[in-house]
């Protein structure tokens, strides 16, 4: 993980990064995200670049170094471009539709399956067999898509 942790992250135009000892806040055109950081990892912003530095060479610290670097990278991408997952429903008679903020799925059960849209996520149904999940938080977009698939 040290190679990933040693990456220098470029801050895109229009993105503001605030660093506190245990918190990184990234604000961009699409919104704002926060990530708590353990004290063994130090985050520095210099010359429009983000650098993550580990305080020691323990195994867990090395793992966290790469993890936090990847999380911050995802935050930078999320507030500028956003994330999108496209799902396809396949089955005879299967169909999906949005009813307000609830995704209504008819997928072969005796009843419809309804899934509430989490805060910060946009779900659209371009056709009766397609679902598009969009948002700025990579983890929340993936988790919502996984819940819909299950």
pLDDT higher than threshold 80 for residue 42: yes
Nearest CA to 60 out of 38, 33, 93, 90 is that of: 38
Nearest CA to 141 out of 15, 33, 43, 9 is that of: 33
Q: Rounded to whole angstroms, how far apart are CA atoms 17 and 25? A: 6
According to the model, what pLDDT value does residue 143 have? 93
Nearest CA to 87 out of 119, 67, 115, 109 is that of: 115
β-pair partners for 105:
96, 113
According to the model, what pLDDT value does residue 2 have? 64
pTM of the model: 0.83
Nearest CA to 134 out of 31, 1, 3 is that of: 31
């Amino acid at each position: 993980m040290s190679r990933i942790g040693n990456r220098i992250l470029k801050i895109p135009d229009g993105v503001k990064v605030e660093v506190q000892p245990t918190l990184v806040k990234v604000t961009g055109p699409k919104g704002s995200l926060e990530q708590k950081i353990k004290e063994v990892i130090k985050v520095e912003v210099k010359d429009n670049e983000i650098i993550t530095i580990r305080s020691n060479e323990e195994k867990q610290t090395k793992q966290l170094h790469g993890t936090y670097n990847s999380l911050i990278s995802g935050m930078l991408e999320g507030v500028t471009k956003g994330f999108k997952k496209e799902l396809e429903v396949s089955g005879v008679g299967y169909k999906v539709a949005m009813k307000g903020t609830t995704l209504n799925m008819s997928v072969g059960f005796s009843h419809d399956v309804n899934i509430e849209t989490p805060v910060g996520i946009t779900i659209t149904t371009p056709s009766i067999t397609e679902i598009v999940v969009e948002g700025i938080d990579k983890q929340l977009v993936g988790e919502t898509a996984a819940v819909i698939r299950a």
